[in-house]
Amino acid sequence: MKQAKLEEKLWPDEDKLRGQKLKNDLLWHKCFGWIVAFMMVFFTTIFVVSLGVWIFHYVTSWGWLKDDQLSKIQSVVFSGSIGAIVSSYMQKQLAK
């Protein structure tokens, strides 16, 4: 309620409103940057862990994964979808 009253006081002063819009835009860009960085780390971690589990399964003599579990891991690792997601995020960030 307090912020709404302060905002109403700023309506006649367009310069302060523009300044507030710039602050809001900057805050949005910072939040978006953190979200993108988190998503890149998340998908990269999923890829690396999946690849590690898949390799560990074949290297050890006591393979514990069933065929359907292996096929799911192989689809994650070798489908290229995670690489495409990370690559598209990287390209968007580097283009800024």
pLDDT in tens, 16-71: 667 778 888 899 889 988 998 898 889 889 888 988 999 999 999 888 889 999 89
pTM of the predicted protein model: 0.64
- As a whole number of angstroms, the distance between CA 84 and CA 90 comes to 10
DSSP symbols for 25-58:
HHHHHHHHHHHHHHHHHHHHHHHHHHHHHHHHHH
H/E stretch holding 96: none
